[in-house]
Amino acid sequence: MESGDAVQPFAYSVGMHGSKFFTELRDNRRFMAIKCPKCKKVYVPPRGVCGECFVEMKDWVEVGPQGIIGTFTILRFAFIDPETGAQKPVPYGYGFIKFDGADTLFQHYISVEDETKIRIGARVEPVFSKDRKGSIR
């Protein structure tokens, strides 16, 4: 067995809300969030119950796709990427993005082409793969 070819003897379900989120992202390039009917807080990624009000949420809304960097780090230490088995090229950014229309932060990698442009409050937008698989890598 080579690095990256490890057998994964388990299945993971992202649940009802995660399934809709990833399906919409893959098929329509849309970031779907869910809105609390009581406090109006918009969650992305979506969840079933509001963390503030503890009420069930069913109102889906589209957010983004642009947003702002809430916080970030730039990593300069190479490691083996557990998703690919290959060494992750450095530097790369990792941050929390607040999509336009959302109230929560979304974790993701940030492209580091020009480090001077990466800052808290900077506007960002997603770059979608041509061959979408329902993954956010």
- Judge if 80 and 94 occupy the same domain: yes
pTM: 0.79
Contact 43, 123 (CB under 8 A): no
Residue 75 in tokens: 């990593």
- Judge if 51 and 80 occupy the same domain: no
Query: pLDDT for 74-101, tens place per residue?
Result: 999 888 877 778 888 889 899 999 999 9
Query: pLDDT for 23-47, tens place per residue?
Result: 898 889 999 999 999 999 999 999 9
Q: Which of 61, 48, 58 lies closest to 103 in space, CA to CA?
A: 61
Angle (CA) 45-10-94 rounded to 5° is 40
In a domain, 6, yes or no: no
Total domains in the chain come to 2
- Judge if 54 and 85 occupy the same domain: no
Q: Which residues contact 1 (CB under 8 A, 6 or more apart)?
A: none
- Judge if 58 and 74 occupy the same domain: no
Which residue, of 26, 42, 63, is where some domain finishes? 63
In a domain, 132, yes or no: no
- Judge if 56 and 79 occupy the same domain: no
